[in-house]
């Protein structure tokens, strides 16, 4: 079994966050690293008028598997999965 300290957990978690930042829909926040204009960014705002034809604001959210489903609980699961090994490994 490898020692947890040999894995680049900070880098792995950083890429996980970047993946979810790239999945955002609607007007992208300034902190989004995938936003065009950011260093290396490639994304623009998308689906900003969703729901306007029926008088609601349905823009924003996250894409899932290439579709346009809006999911509010997408990031906690990978964070939990990434942190569980650190919480369950024996100390020392």
pLDDT at 50: 87
Q: What is the pLDDT of residue 68?
A: 47
Query: Torsion angle of alpha carbons 71, 42, 65, 31, nearest 10°?
Result: -20
pLDDT in 10s for each residue of the chain, 92 residues: 555 567 788 888 888 888 888 888 899 998 999 988 877 788 899 889 988 999 998 888 887 765 445 555 566 777 777 778 777 777 76
Whole-number pLDDT of residue 53:
92
The Cα-based distances of 71 to 1, 25, 38, 51, 53 in angstroms read 36, 11, 24, 16, 22
């Amino acid at each position: 079994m490898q020692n947890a300290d040999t894995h680049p957990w900070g880098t792995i978690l950083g890429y996980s966050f970047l993946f979810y930042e790239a999945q955002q829909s609607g007007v992208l926040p300034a902190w989004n690293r995938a936003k065009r204009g950011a260093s290396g960014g490639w994304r623009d705002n998308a689906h900003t008028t969703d729901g306007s034809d029926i008088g609601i604001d349905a823009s924003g959210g996250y894409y899932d598997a290439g579709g346009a489903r809006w999911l509010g609980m997408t990031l906690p699961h990978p964070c939990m999965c990434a942190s569980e090994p650190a919480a369950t490994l024996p100390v020392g």
